[in-house]
Amino acid sequence: MATILKHAVPKSEVTASLAQVRETVTGVIADIRARGDEAVRAYSEKFDKWSPDSFRLTDEEVEKIIASVPQQVIDDIRFVQDQVRTFARHQLDSLREFEVETLPGVRLGQKHIPVQAAGAYIPGGRYPLTASAHMTIVTAKVAGVPRVVACTPPIHGEIPAATVAAMHLAGADEIWLLGGVQAVAAMSVGTDTMRPVNLIAGPGNAYVAEAKRQLFGEIGIDLFAGPTEILVLADDQADPFVCAVDLLSQAEHGPDSPAVLITTSREVAEKTIAEVERLLPGMPTRDFAGPAWRDHGQVHVVDTLDELYALADEFAFEHVEVLTAEPRLALERMTQYGALFLGEGTCVSFGDKVIGTNHVLPTRGAARYTGGLWVGKYLKTVTYQEVTDTDSQALLGRLCGRAARVELFEGHARSGDVRAAKAAGDELPWNTA
């Protein structure tokens, strides 16, 4: 039986807010469909105070921007991108193309084809999120995507130089200083100056996530990655200070970022709440972390680890940090999460910034049906078939005829009949010519 020491705002308030987001996004997408570049520029001016002659950076502009970035930052970007690239290559190696002969002369195969154009959305309205460039662009390039369009917004009217450097070093083919719904819509439907892509990947705020949701089907998306979520699981051995620091590390993403603690210890719960309240006033990002904790923070106390893992699966959160005596038990006990961070030595921030696994992860319960962004998201797994043996052609043709007629699909049946006739001389009573 869980005891809730801290509640989030009622779901009805969240639902009402999402309804407003949907309405706004619908209008922006429709306007960009109708007016193209003119509408894109208008929304960029409105939301980002940004209206350059061209939103796409030239090669010369990119080189000049990168030259302004400190060498240590460049070195760190290269190191982290190496980690992401290495993990993505291991993922690619785990995917197998094959061809098998299931009957004499019947060959069935599977192969992986990269999408031909991907859009990478790198958030940046509040912070220069260089790490999202690594996750979206490097992974796409490892998959073999030939054209990667990367978009990021300016920050307070300034070019985010480190983000541009990360986009370039990751391998982006086009770099655009464009953000929000206007960037997602432009990449999806295309304009006079931007050719559309086939798939869009990357995290973003509620508006970006909703734009991806509305455009899904017309283009592919990685997943619904909305406001960041963190779930900390703790037993009586956990350090409340660490719990508090890590909860706030994700709350600072934005005022709508849920931060939740589930623990088997009431003492850990109460001390964590006290530590959060102590640390918050001194955080430079308290304007975001404060409202996130106030409105979306939760603390639950349960009696057993069994209850802890069961409740954690109900949340199906993006990030789950396991601060228990035996953290690897979560690998056996949990099934619904975006990514696990096992033990005190492994924080969610490692996954966000440096460790090499992808930080674009499912939110708002999407972990019930999908994992996060990975190299396979950029690949289309397709099949092919070939029948060259006449006996197999006859066998399958006759079987197809019978199976299709059970379903009253006479056209399908006749297609099978013809193969049996060609291979074995079967009669075609329906062919009166």
- The residue type of 42 is A
Catalytic status, residue 277: no
Catalytic status, residue 326: no
C-alpha span between 15 and 228 (Å, rounded): 17
List 318, 321, 344, 359, catalytic entry: 318
DSSP track, 314-341: HH--SEEEEESSSTTHHHHH----SEEE
What is the torsional sign of CA 181, 24, 48, 132?
negative
List 168, 300, 319, 359, catalytic entry: 319
C-alpha span between 247 and 231 (Å, rounded): 8
Query: Locate tokens 């940004």: which residue?
Result: 50
Distances (CA, A) of 40 to 56, 187, 203: 13, 11, 20
Which structure tokens are listed for 218? 């017309």
| C-beta separation of 159 from 168 below 8 A | no
C-alpha span between 229 and 260 (Å, rounded): 8
How many beta carbons lie within 10 A of that of residue 148, not counting itself?
A: 27
Per DSSP (E only), the strands in 124-251 are: 147-152, 174-177, 199-201, 220-221, 230-234
Return the active site residues.
318-319
